[in-house]
Amino acid sequence: MREPEDLLDELNTVDEHQQIEAKTVSDNLGESILGTISAFSNEPDLDGGYIILGVARDSKTNKYHPAGVNNPDKIQTELVSACANRFSINIRPEITAKDVNGKTVIVVYIREVSPSLKPVTFERKTGGKTHQKIRTVAYRRIGSSDVLCTREDYDEFVSLKQNRPYDETLLPGVSLSDINPGAIAEYRRLRKEYDPSASELAFPDSDLLVSLHCAERKDDVVIPTIAGHILFGTNSVLRRFFHLTRIDYIRTKTRQHREFSDEDSYYTLEFREAVFTMFPKVEAAIMGNIEREMIFSPDKLTREERPVIPYKAVREALVNAVMHRDYRQNGPTTIIQYPDRIEFFNHGHSLKPVGTYGEYGNSKTRNPEIAAVLHETQYAENKGTGIPKIWNYLKKANLEEPHFVSDKDTNTFSVTFYLHQLEDDEEKRWLSQFTSLDLTPEELRILVFAHKNRTVSNELGRDVTGLDTIHVSRLLTGLRKKGILVSHSAGPKTHYSISDEWIQGSGRSQDRSPLDPMINPLDTKMSDSGEAA
C-alpha cells in the first residue's frame, strides 16, 4: 500500500495517471467512484489502481493538495458497503486514512480481478426523474479516464474468460476461398527448409490450416480463424475485415515526422496482404534504402558491402511487430526511415515489463497461434529472445542501443534504430566535464538526451532510463540543483534544458568520459501517421 504523499507527488509530476485517480470527497462518497472501481477491477494487465479521497486541485498551480475528508469513518464505511453490495462481485478494497498537512486523506487500492470474474458491473440510474431506468454498466481504465465498456470490450472479456486468444476467433461469412494458396505454398517452402520431415507437410491445405490452429472444422466445414487470415488470407478478406491492418513504409528526407511538408520530402509504400507473401516485400523495401558501408577483410582480396543496420535486426523488429500487435486496434504498423534512424510504430503495448526487455525468456504473447506458425518457419525463434537479439545485432555493428517505448495508455509500442555509430569524439569530450561530479549512469543518460534534443522532461527521462516517475523526478531535481539543468514552466508541463555554462563545455573539464558507451538515448516519440500517403 503506497503512502498518500508518494501518490500525490507522482500525480503532480505527470498530471494525469492511469493508475491514480484523485477525488474531492468531503462529506459523501458520491456515485462517480463506482465507475473508477469498476475500471480498475476490469482493465487487463493494469494490476489495479489507487483512488485518493480528500484532495483538490489548485486552480493557479494546477497541482493537487490535501483538502481533507470531514468524516473519514463514515466515508470508509460507505466505501466498504458499496464494494460489497453494488457490484456484480464482492470487491475487497485496501483502505488507509492518514493525516497529511493537517488534513485527513484516504487512499484506496482496488485490485484487478481475475479474467473469470470480468467484467465487474454495477447498476446505474439513467434518464430524468420521470423516465428513470436502471442500467447495468461496466467501465475500463483508458489512459486517465474511466470509459464505459462497448460491445467490443464485452467480447474481449468473454474471450479472456474462456482463455481463448483473439487470434483464434472465427469471423462471420468466411471460408477456405478467403485463403491465398500462394501464402500456404510459401509456408510449405519455409517449413520444409527448416524441417523436411514435418508431418503436416503431407496434409492437404484444409487439414494443414486446422493443424496450425489457423482454422476450425465445424460440421465438416473448415472455417479460417483471425490467425489464418493474417498469415494466409487473400487481399479481399483482409480489406474486408482488416482494412487498416497493413504495413506503411515511409521514407523521408526530413528528421522529424512533423516536418513532412510536401510530397517531395517523403514517399509511402502500403502493404496489405498475407504475412507470408508480404514479409519479403517489406524487408526488401527497407533494406534497399539502408546505406551500405565497405568492409575490407584482411584474409580476402575483395571488398564487401554490408548495410549499416544489420538485416537480422530489421527482420526481428518486423516479425515482432506482426507477432505482437493488437489486431483489435484499427491502424497500420508504420515504419518511417529518416536520414539518421528508422522507427517502427505498432499498435499493442508490450505485455513484457519494460525493465526485462534485455532479458531472455519471460515472454508474453498476445497472438500465440500467429507466433507458433512464425516459430515453425524460423521467422521467430525462441520465446522472449526478440528484443535481446536486436540489442546484440546492433551492438555487434557498433551502433547505439535501440530505443523501445511501450505506452499502455495509447496501447502502442515503438522501437528506434539509430544509424550513427557509438564512437563520437565530440560527445565524449562534452561528457568528460562531468567526471568529477560522480553522476550515475541514469543521470548521464538524461544529459546525453538533453544535449542531443535540447530538452528533457519527466516522461522522456522515464523512457531513457526505464525508471519510474518519482525516481526520474529526483534525478532531474538533483541535476537542476547542481546547476546543470535549467527548469522551464511548472507543474506537469515542466521541462528542462542544459544550462549555457555546461552546454558550451565550460564546466569542470576532465580527460575521460564517465559514461558507459552503451547508452540508451531517445529521439522524438512519433505518433501514428494513419493514412500517410
Residue 306, SS3 per DSSP: strand
Whether the per-residue pLDDT at 479 is higher than 60: the answer is yes
Q: Do 31 and 135 share a structural domain?
A: yes
Q: Do 224 and 144 share a structural domain?
A: no
Q: 50 pairs with which residues across the strands?
A: 20, 109
Q: Do 179 and 39 share a structural domain?
A: no
- Candidates 494, 43, 390, 234; CA nearest to 485 is 494
- Domain count of the fold of the chain: 3
CA distance 49 to 178: 43
Q: Do 155 and 212 share a structural domain?
A: no
Domain with residue 79: its CATH number is 3.30.950.30
- Domain-embedded: residue 516: no
Q: 404 pairs with which residues across the strands?
A: 415
Whether the per-residue pLDDT at 511 is higher than 70: the answer is no
- Domain-embedded: residue 265: yes
Whether the per-residue pLDDT at 33 is higher than 60: the answer is yes
Residue 35, SS3 per DSSP: helix
Residue 47, SS3 per DSSP: coil
Positive or negative, the CA dihedral 49, 53, 58, 64 is negative
The whole-number pLDDT of residue 184 equals 97
The whole-number pLDDT of residue 525 equals 33
Q: Do 409 and 452 share a structural domain?
A: no
Q: Do 17 and 95 share a structural domain?
A: yes
pLDDT in tens, 174-205: 999 999 999 999 999 999 998 898 888 999 99
Q: Which of 161, 186, 202 is the last residue of a domain?
A: 161
CA distance 469 to 16: 12
Q: Do 403 and 389 share a structural domain?
A: yes
Domain with residue 430: its CATH number is 1.10.10.10
- Domain-embedded: residue 200: yes
- Candidates 169, 373, 172, 414; CA nearest to 275 is 373
Average model confidence (pLDDT) across the chain? 82
| Angle formed by the axes of helices 368-376 and 311-324, nearest 10° | 150
Q: Do 497 and 403 share a structural domain?
A: no
Could you list the residue range(s) of the whole structural domain that residue 111 is in? 4-161
Q: Do 436 and 348 share a structural domain?
A: no
Proportion of the chain above pLDDT 90, given as a percent: 40
Q: Which of 399, 422, 445 is the last residue of a domain?
A: 422
pTM over 0.75: no
Q: Do 429 and 390 share a structural domain?
A: no
The whole-number pLDDT of residue 383 equals 56
Q: Helix-strand-coil percent breakdown of the chain, rounded to 5?
A: 40, 25, 40
- Domain-embedded: residue 53: yes
Q: Which of 422, 438, 465 is the last residue of a domain?
A: 422
Domain with residue 414: its CATH number is 3.30.565.60
- The answer to whether residues 238 and 273 touch, using CB atoms and an 8 Å cutoff, is yes
- Domain-embedded: residue 508: no
- Domain-embedded: residue 168: no
- Domain-embedded: residue 519: no
Q: Do 437 and 289 share a structural domain?
A: no
Tell me the CA distances in angstroms from 173 to 87, 222, 227, 230, 529, one per residue in order: 37, 12, 16, 16, 31
Whether the per-residue pLDDT at 128 is higher than 70: the answer is no
Q: Do 430 and 404 share a structural domain?
A: no
pLDDT in tens, 319-373: 999 999 999 888 999 999 988 789 999 999 888 765 555 554 456 778 989 998 9
- Domain-embedded: residue 468: yes
The whole-number pLDDT of residue 526 equals 32
